[in-house]
Amino acid sequence: MSKHTAIIFLGILVIVVAASGFPPFLRTTLLVLSGLGVVVIGYLSSVTYCSNCKKLIDEADQALPLPPEDTTITS
């Protein structure tokens, strides 16, 4: 199941739980669990994004010319 499908499923679950006649404790529990699911999926999406960012940063560092190093001799 892709992340997008999971988010859609959790959104539908929230709508169904909020509109149904579940007891308050069960309704609150299901809403909190689905909210935590959205948070976890969002975090995992950002982790994947950050690993891609590191690759882009490394490639950008290689593309930029390095400034000349100080070649003065100190004794």
Classify residue 39: in a domain, yes or no.
yes
Q: Please report the pLDDT score of residue 29 as a whole number.
A: 92
Which has more pLDDT, 74 or 1? 1
Model confidence pLDDT, tens digit, residues 15-71: 898 888 889 999 999 999 988 988 888 887 776 556 666 666 666 666 666 666 655
Classify residue 36: in a domain, yes or no.
yes
Q: Output the DSSP codes for 9-56.
A: HHHHHHHHHHHS---HHHHHHHHHHHHHHHHHHHHHHHHHHHHHHHHH
Classify residue 72: in a domain, yes or no.
no
Q: Please report the pLDDT score of residue 21 as a whole number.
A: 86
Is 74's pLDDT higher than 80?
no
Q: Is 72 helix (H, G, I), strand (E, B) or coil?
A: coil
Q: Please report the pLDDT score of residue 67 as a whole number.
A: 63
Domain that holds residue 35: 1-45
Classify residue 30: in a domain, yes or no.
yes
Q: Please report the pLDDT score of residue 20 as a whole number.
A: 87
Classify residue 74: in a domain, yes or no.
no
d(CA 28, CA 35): 10
